[in-house]
Amino acid sequence: MSATYKDIGISTEGHVGIVEIQRPPHNFFDNSLINQIADAFEAFDKDMNIRAYVLCAQGKSFCAGADFANRPQTGAAESGKHLYKEATRLFRAKKPSVAAVQGPAIGGGLGLAVMPDFRVTCAEGRFAANFTRLGFHPGFSLTYTLPRLIGQQKANLLFYTGRRVGGEEAVAMGLADVLVPLADVRKAAIALATEIAEGAPLAVQSTRETMRRGFADAAEIATERELTEQDWTRKTEDFKEGIKSYAEKRPGNWKGR
C-alpha cells in the first residue's frame, strides 16, 4: 500500500493487513482518524494478497473515545454527524477483521472495538459505554452492534450504568473472544487473523457476507437514530455537567435539563 496516513501506521504480515492507531497514549478519535482507518480498510479490500486485517493501537488505551474535555462544544453535534457517517464505512468492509484491545475502549472507542469481527484482549482491557455518565445518548452504532454481540439485557446494563468491564469479564460475556497476557495481545490478534487467512479467501468472504447479511445497513439505521438523540442531549445542561464531572472523576450533579 502506497498511501500515506497521518495518524495510523499500515503494515502487512503474510496475508494479514495491520492498521495501527498512532495517537498515544489514549488514541482519542475524530473525523480524520476514522476516515483514515476506513480508507485503509477499503484499500485492503482491494488488495488480493490481504485476506484479513488487524486493528491495533499504540499507547495505554485502544481508544478512549472522543476527547470532549479538550474539544469545544460548539459544533459538536455536527462533528459527530460527520464522524459517524465515516464510521458506517467501516461496517461495509468486506474482509474479516480482529481488534487487539490492549487497554481501555471507552465510549465511541468501544464502538470502534466492537466494529471488527473478533476481539483479542487482556486482563488490563477495559470496555465501557459511558455515554450516560457524560450526559448524552450512545453512538457509533452501538445500540445495534452491542446487543447483537452480547444480548439485549447485558447491553442494557452497560448502557444504563456506564460501568467498565475488565478483559476477563468481557470474554465471559462475549464482548471479547480471546484473553491473553498484555504483552501478547497484538501477537495473538495477528495469529487469529492469520488462522482466518488460511481459509480459501472467496469462501471466507462469502461466508462472512452471509453471516453479516444486513449488518452494515442496520448499523447505519441505528446511527441515524443515535444522531437524532445525540443532537438534543448534547445541548443540555446535563451534558456540560457530564463532561465536567467525568473529568473530575465524581458523580454528576444532574439537573434533568
Task: Give the per-residue pLDDT at 79.
Answer: 54
Is the pTM above the cut of 0.75?
yes
Name the CA dihedral angle for 165, 171, 177, 180, rounded to a multiple of 10 degrees.
90
Q: Which residue, chain included where needed, has cell 502487512?
A: 12
**Residues whose CB falls within 8 Å of the CB of residue 178, separated by 6 or more in sequence, listed in order:** 118, 119, 120, 121, 171, 188, 189, 192
Model confidence pLDDT, tens digit, residues 98-149: 999 999 999 999 999 999 999 999 999 999 999 999 999 999 999 999 999 9
Q: How far, in Å, CA of 154 to CA of 175, rounded?
A: 10
Tell me the domain boundaries of the chain.
1-183+200-257
Task: Give the per-residue pLDDT at 138.
Answer: 96
Q: Would the pLDDT of 68 be above 60?
A: yes
Q: Would the pLDDT of 17 be above 80?
A: yes
Q: Would the pLDDT of 254 be above 50?
A: yes
Which of these CATH numbers, 3.90.226.10, 3.40.50.261, 3.40.50.620, 3.30.300.30, describes 1-183+200-257? 3.90.226.10
Model confidence pLDDT, tens digit, residues 31-47: 999 999 999 999 999 99
Task: Give the per-residue pLDDT at 2.
Answer: 46
Q: Would the pLDDT of 84 be above 90?
A: no
Task: Give the per-residue pLDDT at 26.
Answer: 96
Model confidence pLDDT, tens digit, residues 139-197: 999 999 999 999 999 999 999 999 999 999 999 999 999 999 999 999 999 999 999 99
Task: Give the per-residue pLDDT at 69.
Answer: 67
Greatest alpha-carbon pair distance for the chain in Å reads 57
The pLDDT of 216-242, averaged and rounded, is 95
Closest by CA position to 116, among listed 90, 80, 153: 90
